[in-house]
Structure 1
């Protein structure tokens, strides 16, 4: 079993409900146990003209391989109406593998640690709620250093995912 962190986001079709449904779906994954979920956060879209996003991070312990987990996450996205029309378009659900144990993964379908997480407060701050304070990523970066370089700006923390 490896510790895995999943970034979750939605900005369509009742985003908070989408995330709650995703959390429920994660509890159903084979060979996997959900061990924690951060608070929900709202932030502006990275692109103008899109609705605000609701984001969170989930922690898992899993015996799935990285690509098995990726396939399972994409199936959950599809079940919740995800349409892949454009790379940065609005979405009902986005599930990203942020960290997979202490692995560095560089495959055509999957890059871990997630290649843009250091730039995204809506990923780092929810991750910090679940990860140990001294967490070191497989590429040698420390979560504490990433947080220090990425201010808590433009985020609204929701009390309990409501």
Structure 2
């Protein structure tokens, strides 16, 4: 069984859509673990702030099926097919890690944004601080400690989704 890490983000009714994404992930994967939620300014375009978090789960699904399930969830919750990468969105689900798999297809793993975006790295470091990045060779806690925090503004927000109770 593979351990996967998933990035969730939204800047259109973000609490509503993050909750919807979490509920869908619970349905597919059963038990999930969640990082704290962080708010960040949009990256790559001018738009409303995003709420972001990282979730871990276990799965027997192959990478292709995991990605297909994420795309279906996004579409079900208002994401437009073929939407621009740098645009506002109801829900964005990205596979960050699939065990320690390194690949270029069907997606690049580990996801490059882990090392470049604070809104991915910080929640991942909170959820799996001792886990080692498969190509950087450093723990996520160490990568976050070394990250230039002046590059992107990011702050924790207190949101209780109440769905794991």
TM-score by length of 2: 0.88
Alignment of 1:1-162 (within 5 A): 1-12=1-12, 14-29=13-28, 32-83=29-80, 84-107=82-105, 109-131=106-128, 133-142=129-138, 143-153=140-150, 154-161=153-160
Decide whether the 8 Å contact of 1:40 with 1:161 is kept in 2.
Answer: no
Larger strand fraction of residues: 1
Distance 1:112 1:57 in 2: 15
Distance 1:69 1:2 in 2: 11
Flag structure 2 segments of 5+ consecutive residues without an equivalent: none
Flag structure 1 segments of 5+ consecutive residues without an equivalent: none
> Moved runs in structure 1, 4+ residues, more than 3 A?
none
1:93-140, Cα deviation, whole Å (9 max, x unpaired): 110001110111211x31110012111111111112211x32112224
Decide whether the 8 Å contact of 2:126 with 2:141 is kept in 1.
Answer: no
Q: Secondary structure in 2 aligned to 1:74?
A: helix
Distance 1:151 1:20 in 2: 30
Decide whether the 8 Å contact of 1:34 with 1:58 is kept in 2.
Answer: no
Q: Once superposed, what is the RMSD of the aligned Cα atoms?
A: 1.6
Decide whether the 8 Å contact of 1:113 with 1:138 is kept in 2.
Answer: yes
